[in-house]
Amino acid sequence: MKFPFIDLQAQRAIIADEVDAALKRVLEHGQFILGPEVEQFEIQLAEFEGGGHAVSCANGTDAIILPLKAWGVGPGDTVFCPSWTYAATAEAIAVIGAIPYFVDVDPVTYNLCPKSLRASILQSQNAKAIIAVDLFGQPANYPELRAIADEFDLKLMADSAQGMGCRLSGKAPIEWADVVTTSFFPAKPLGCYGDGGAMLTRDESLKEQLLSLRFHGRGTVPGDHAKVGLNSRLDTMQAAILIEKLKIFADEIEARNRIAHRYTEALQSNILRTPKVIEGGLSIWAQYSIEVPDRDSVMAGMRAAGIPVAAYYPLPTHMQTAYKDFPTSPDGLPNTMAAKDMIMALPMHAYLKPEDQDAVIETLLGFM
């Protein structure tokens, strides 16, 4: 390949001295689990997201599991989620014995479709929660999803593993969701150098439960464990790295938007469909995904020409072996099924050089 799909080293070059110094501080104070950097990062992340509390944890999958456990969701309960997302969204539901109920996505934004959600809720039993996904970095339709959650008395979770930093009408998803979860997997827009995750909430009592559940469910009496929890803590080294990365995150979001705009200007046509962000939305462009006819041969051609591209996702979750027996929307998943054959993600990160982006654009237009 001529250049990487996501260039983590370009970012590292900018903050290498700060990260090295931060890691040295951790090595010297030696509090590798729940050291001071963890709480410092949690405070800064909550501030970045417009207030409330942030509770960090070991990864973005646990970040979904922990609030579900706190809400008492378990065997026999139904949780609605898109099929068109990474499998971890449904996995977090199924692993605690609950039922992931697959809902279709909007054909334009690829985020949870309120109409399909409502039809699914009406058909379901023991409905407990909705998980919206900020797919490819753009916010879901939170005002409509919140209204549905309130109407049916359901919890609303924002799986913002791909969307940390996205906004709708200038506000973060926490404005609507009961809890927002995210992943710091290295390739995510706000990634660390290993696994990591976090949950954000404005609910003080949920925060307390999450703090306990991420630490084996420990109680207030020393030695007592009040609940069956997980060992799911963000380690101090990762928190120290994230503190440095958060400092440049706003600039990186701006850069990603500039690059996305440049792609859209060059590529929009009758043949390709460039991404559309929900009205009033700010995407952080975890992926820049376009719809291409004859996607698989275009992808093969791009790769042969040395341009890295990816298909997210070749198989929607409801078609995957572990998830094929769970329920799907009564109206089917037509938009999910259409997306799976057409979507191709182009190289996207905050440090993509104009000449590399030009090579992507020219090669792709050549195929068209």
Ligand X SMILES: Cc1ncc(COP(=O)(O)O)c(C=O)c1O
- The one-letter amino acid at 77: D
**Do residues 197 and 56 make contact, with C-beta atoms less than 8 angstroms apart?**
yes
Q: In angstroms, what is the minimal distance from the CB of 132 to ligand X?
A: 10
85 binds ligand X, rule: CB under 6 A: yes
What span, in angstroms and rounded, lies between the C-alpha atoms of 23 and 236? 9
Residue (175 or 195) nearer to ligand X, CB: 195
185 binds ligand X, rule: CB under 6 A: yes
88 binds ligand X, rule: CB under 6 A: yes
176 binds ligand X, rule: CB under 6 A: no
- Candidates 89, 120, 124, 201; binder of ligand X (CB under 6 A) is 89
Handedness of CA 311, 316, 319, 324 (dihedral sign): positive
Q: In angstroms, what is the minimal distance from the CB of 138 to ligand X?
A: 12
Q: In angstroms, what is the minimal distance from the CB of 330 to ligand X?
A: 24
197 binds ligand X, rule: CB under 6 A: yes
Query: Torsion angle, CA of 105/137/346/332, rounded to 10 degrees?
Result: -10
Residue (57 or 168) nearer to ligand X, CB: 57
Options 81-89, 120-128, 212-220, 360-368: segment touching ligand X (CB under 6 A): 81-89
Q: What are 103's two structure tokens? A: 């809902």
161 binds ligand X, rule: CB under 6 A: yes
Tell me the backbone φ, ψ of residue 347, rounded to 5 degrees: -55, 130
What span, in angstroms and rounded, lies between the C-alpha atoms of 116 and 51? 31
- Candidates 159, 175, 244, 291; binder of ligand X (CB under 6 A) is 159
Tell me the backbone φ, ψ of residue 156, rounded to 5 degrees: -120, 120
Tell me the backbone φ, ψ of residue 155, rounded to 5 degrees: -75, 150
- Candidates 52, 53, 57, 61; binder of ligand X (CB under 6 A) is 61
- Residue 174, burial from CB neighbour count under 10 angstroms (0-12, 13-18, 19+): buried
Options 23-31, 48-56, 157-165, 301-309: segment touching ligand X (CB under 6 A): 157-165
Options 145-153, 155-163, 263-271, 351-359: segment touching ligand X (CB under 6 A): 155-163
Q: In angstroms, what is the minimal distance from the CB of 59 to ligand X?
A: 4
Residue (56 or 357) nearer to ligand X, CB: 56
Query: Torsion angle, CA of 89/129/152/53, rounded to 10 degrees?
Result: -110
Options 80-88, 103-111, 206-214, 267-275: segment touching ligand X (CB under 6 A): 80-88
What span, in angstroms and rounded, lies between the C-alpha atoms of 168 and 15? 29
Q: What are 354's two structure tokens? A: 């104009």
- Tokens 């990160």, located at residue: 349
Find the binding residues for ligand X in span 111-150 (CB under 6 A).
133
Q: In angstroms, what is the minimal distance from the CB of 269 to ligand X?
A: 29
Tell me the backbone φ, ψ of residue 79, rounded to 5 degrees: -125, 130
Residues of this chain that interact with ligand X (CB under 6 A) are: 59-61, 85-86, 88-89, 133, 159, 161-162, 183, 185, 195, 197
